[in-house]
A and B are shown apart, each in its own frame.
Chain A
């Protein structure tokens, strides 16, 4: 993870370096067109005065940032987003960890099938799965109607149209990513290390806490980061499960861009999201380096 790409010793001969550059070119062009240019434009748009201004590029103003930074509403939105991200990341990781650990260690010949099953939910769109959760958690959903049929509750228990519903749905929707990220980060796990620890007198609990857990931390960290980033940038699930009552950066960007048509504000919020991302990724790299050295 920490190893950087290094040039071959002595440097590649000029001809092969030319070929290398040519090989890099298509990817580079694609990145510039689909990522770098839109990002620059986003940045530019956040300093415009209106949607029209963002397109024509005539004026510069920091109005949008003034709004974002001084309106307490947006601070709340940012806070909500962080809380949602942390909750989803923590629970998705806790729930995925045993599954990933099992998949990484099993000797079963069904391991491939089981892994495929664990990530199979990715085959359906997250919109469909969100609707699935609405069917389960909704006011007249499976849980509420069961509880009422059993006369365990009188009224409706609010499980959707709030951040609880959004969090639950996001946890489930993002778990396959967590499992995949962990599996790729469990490279240092090795049954022989566990056997060696047992030979040295470690019982199963000690083997887990002293060997398995520390060695799997990089995978856990990667999974947490991935889930966190996907959660704070999510829009569909908080929007649908929140029923318009959950305000996170994703839903606000959508609102400003399509409902209010305040593109500069939408752009400024996106930049804020980007800043959040970058700081989290920096923290992650710090943590990973501390773990792996």
Chain B
């Protein structure tokens, strides 16, 4: 922790006139070269955190350290961080090359070296030959790459990206995801990017920090966040799932109202209340009833989604959500009686580390 490249400590921001802090005692840290995604619903304070790190707004309290050094007294223009804004914020009165060169000019880099580095940066983001274009003559994806090149060419200590993909169409977004990831890996720059798209966060980041209402809910690798959510919020925000409230009836067994006992893997004291979750793709179609963790019910709703079929199965008072692969033999129809099973290790005990 202490030797991490970027350390955020108890960061708080209360905007003037606001009753509640927009960012409330948030702490996290990044080792050098890591890509961290800040994920959360709209208004949870992601942009605010990023802008505090950049120095564009002043924290109410807390510290931001780079290589152990507190940056709070360093003005924006000396922080040497790269930022990619949601709307790119390319300078409309300059060419692409001039945009990229701007940060180097500010650093008084000589003309020859500047031209060389601009050319390399354009190559890096696959915009070679576009240098002389005006910004308005670029497509959205090209503008975004120009913005990335502009922020990388100064060799920033830290790269900050605020929803860099939200202005792009779905296909371009997928391409740019890979490209950003690739560029970040090649340059080895430590990066924090903000998003409210969970797919984006899961697929791009080394680690995710999930936020809700100004507070950090959980931080971990995509797998940890997805498979072992520690709070209700994280469990329901990331991915779909069916939730069960119950009481621990014995070791690894929970009694859930209206269902057979549910087996799970994990430590929980007998008699204590628990919350469990099953991801839709963990529910499998079973031959017959009687296996552990099997639920029989009628198919109430079917959504065909190409590779998977999403079923809503009514079991007593509960609706279970299951995703079945469409290549799996005979598929159930609406109104069919089906039995679903789930392996105990695929039942997530919310709020506890994996056993």
| Chain A interface residues (CB < 8 Å from chain B) | 188, 190, 192-193, 195-203, 206, 210-211, 214-215, 291, 293
Q: Which of A200, A214, A293 meets B106, CB within 8 Å?
A: A200
B residues near A195, Cβ cutoff 8 Å: 56, 76, 83, 85, 89
Contact A192 B93 (CB under 8 A): no
Q: Which of B77, B85, B92, B134 meets A201, CB within 8 Å?
A: B77
Q: Which of A192, A201, A211, A291 meets B80, CB within 8 Å?
A: A201
B residues near A210, Cβ cutoff 8 Å: 102
What is the CA–CA distance of A200 and B102 in the complex, to the nearest angstrom?
7
Contact A192 B154 (CB under 8 A): no
What total of chain B residues lie within 8 Å of the partner, measured CB to CB? 26
Contact A197 B83 (CB under 8 A): no
What is the CA–CA distance of A215 and B94 in the complex, to the nearest angstrom?
10
Given contact pairs A188-B93, A192-B85, a sample of 4 additional A-B residue pairs in the complex whose CB atoms are under 8 Å apart = A196-B89, A200-B103, A202-B106, A206-B106
Contact A201 B91 (CB under 8 A): no
What is the CA–CA distance of A214 and B91 in the complex, to the nearest angstrom?
10
> B59-108: which residues lie under 8 A (CB-CB) from chain A?
75-83, 85, 87, 89-93, 102-103, 106-107
A residues near B247, Cβ cutoff 8 Å: none
A residues near B82, Cβ cutoff 8 Å: 199
B residues near A211, Cβ cutoff 8 Å: 91
A-B contact pairs, 6 of them (CB 8 A): A192-B87, A195-B83, A199-B79, A200-B102, A200-B151, A206-B106
Binary contact track B216-243/A, C-beta < 8 Å → 1, others 0: 0000000000000000000000000000
A residues near B90, Cβ cutoff 8 Å: 196
B residues near A198, Cβ cutoff 8 Å: 56, 76-77
B residues near A293, Cβ cutoff 8 Å: 134
B122 within 8 A of A: no
B150 within 8 A of A: yes
A residues near B83, Cβ cutoff 8 Å: 195-196, 199
Q: Is the contact region of chain A dominated by helix, strand, or loop, or is it mixed? A: helix
- The distance from the CB of B221 to the nearest CB of chain A, in whole angstroms, is 29
B residues near A200, Cβ cutoff 8 Å: 77, 102-103, 106, 150-151, 154
Contact B76 A199 (CB under 8 A): yes
B residues near A196, Cβ cutoff 8 Å: 83, 85, 89-91
Contact A201 B154 (CB under 8 A): yes
Given A195-B56, A214-B93, A215-B93, does the pair A201, B87 have CB atoms closer than 8 Å? no
What is the CA–CA distance of A188 and B136 in the complex, to the nearest angstrom?
13
- The distance from the CB of B107 to the nearest CB of chain A, in whole angstroms, is 6
What is the CA–CA distance of A182 and B12 in the complex, to the nearest angstrom?
39
What is the CA–CA distance of A203 and B150 in the complex, to the nearest angstrom?
17
B54 within 8 A of A: yes
- The distance from the CB of A224 to the nearest CB of chain B, in whole angstroms, is 19
Binary contact track B124-164/A, C-beta < 8 Å → 1, others 0: 00000000001000000000000000110010000000000
> Chain A residue with minimal CB distance to B80?
A201
What is the CA–CA distance of A188 and B135 in the complex, to the nearest angstrom?
13
- The distance from the CB of B114 to the nearest CB of chain A, in whole angstroms, is 13
- The distance from the CB of B256 to the nearest CB of chain A, in whole angstroms, is 51
> Chain B residue with minimal CB distance to A293?
B134
What is the CA–CA distance of A203 and B55 in the complex, to the nearest angstrom?
13
- The distance from the CB of B120 to the nearest CB of chain A, in whole angstroms, is 17
